[in-house]
Amino acid sequence: MSIFTPTNQIRLTNVAVVRMKRAGKRFEIACYKNKVVGWRSGQVAKKEDLISAFGTDDQTEICKQILTKGEVQQMFRDIATIVADKCVTPETKRPYTVILIERAMKDIHYSVKTNRSTKQQALEVIKQLKEKMKIERAHMRLRFILPMNEGKKLKEKLKPLIKVIESKDYGQQLEIVCLIDLGCFREIDELIKKETKGKGSLEVLNLKDLEEGDEKFE
């Protein structure tokens, strides 16, 4: 049995793994090394504090309550990071810092849902934050050059992923310049490659709202 860190999460290098082998099988617990030392030296919460907070001093039951109802800190930060990467302030077009987004998520009392992906929850957070603060999605400007035969059919599949079509040119090939949400780029790129069998091309013209080197808004 081994501990797996998803590729979209930050690896916690200061986390230790405590291992024990029993009945021919290996069991592991991930935790902070200083907490292991503290536990073994008897530095634990007082019995009266546990009873006051949880209504019991049964440590197994308390662990279950924390695991079931506690805030998942890593997912919380991952969601805030996605929001910060995708959004800007409407007036200055500058990106928000992760710290400010985390603070805003706490202000709206956002609770992490462990059964949903961080991307799904980031989109939900953006909707909720729009009701409380000035925030909008950053846009990317793209140019598609598509073979005419495949282009007309592909254009209909691309429509839901395009925010604004700025220009269309029907020549020997179909050329489209448009704005998209940053999060749609990969899906559009894969769709064009698949539907045109590599004959179509996709060019990033610029990030309309977020230019390289912009100062972050805090």
Query: Is residue 3 over pLDDT 60?
Result: no
- When mean pLDDT is compared across 57-61, 133-137, 148-152, the lowest value belongs to 148-152
Residue 71 has what pLDDT? 65
As a whole-number percent, the residues of the chain with pLDDT over 70 amount to 87
Say whether pLDDT at 9 is over 60. no
- Which option is the CATH number for 73-136: 1.10.10.900, 1.10.1380.10, 3.30.1180.20, 3.40.50.300? 1.10.10.900
Which of the two residues, 143 and 68, has the higher pLDDT score? 143
Quick one: average pLDDT of 33-57?
85
Average pLDDT over residues 122-143: 91
Dig out the tokens for 168 from the structure. Answer: 């269309």
Beta strands 87-88 and 136-137: pairing type?
antiparallel
pLDDT tens-digit series, residues 95-106:
889 999 999 999
CA separation (Å) from 187 to 18, 83, 163, 169, 212? 41, 18, 14, 23, 23
The pLDDT value recorded for residue 14 is 63
Provide the token pair at 205.
Answer: 């013209």
Residue 30 predicted with pLDDT over 90: no
Max avg pLDDT among 82-86, 111-115, 146-150, 153-157: 82-86
Tell me which fold the domain 139-206 belongs to: Alpha-Beta Plaits (3.30.70)
Average pLDDT, the chain: 82
pLDDT tens digits for range 153-193: 888 888 898 988 888 888 888 888 988 887 788 899 998 88
* 130: confidence class by pLDDT, cuts 50, 70, 90: very high
**Overall pTM surpassing 0.85 (yes/no):** no
**What are the domain boundaries of the chain?**
15-69, 73-136, 139-206
| pLDDT higher than 80, residue 15 | no
Residue 207's pLDDT is what? 62
pLDDT above 50 for 129 = yes
Selection from 185, 200, 186 nearest residue 153 by Cα: 200
The Cα–Cα gap between 145 and 192 comes to: 10
Instruction: Give bridge partners of residue 144 from the DSSP assignment.
Output: 176, 202
Q: What is the pLDDT of residue 124?
A: 94
Arithmetic mean of pLDDT, 106-120 = 89
Asked if pLDDT for residue 6 goes beyond 60, the answer is: no
